[in-house]
Amino acid sequence: MGTRSIRFRLRLTAEQYLAFYRGVARSVSVVAEDGRRILFPAGNVRQYLTETGIDGYFEMEVTEENKFVAIRRLDEG
């Protein structure tokens, strides 16, 4: 089974991310560098949350069936 990568920039303030903790929102929606809109669970980027939020360029690895495999930060924001 193969995987593919999707790259995108994500900018969320700490207040915006708090909406996920409060249950107001569960998914993050971003436009990938290839123009596709992608939607994924907020928990996938939780490890990158700082006191100011999340700001950076990321690469998400997914299966051919679009199942999440891994995510990594490509820069420091």
Domain count, the chain: 1
pTM: 0.85
CATH number for position 9: 2.40.50
E strands present in the chain: 3-13, 27-31, 37-41, 53-63, 68-73
Do residues 54 and 64 lie in contact, with contact meaning Cβ atoms separated by under 8 Å? no
| Joined tokens for residue 43 | 């928990």
> Residue 8 in contact with residue 60, Cβ under 8 Å?
yes
Pairing of strands 68-73, 53-63: antiparallel
Q: CA 9, CA 74: separation in Å to the nearest integer?
A: 10
pLDDT of the chain, 77 residues: tens digit per residue: 699 999 999 999 988 888 877 877 788 999 999 999 999 998 899 899 888 999 999 999 999 998 999 999 997 54
Full residue range of the structural domain in which residue 35 is found: 3-73
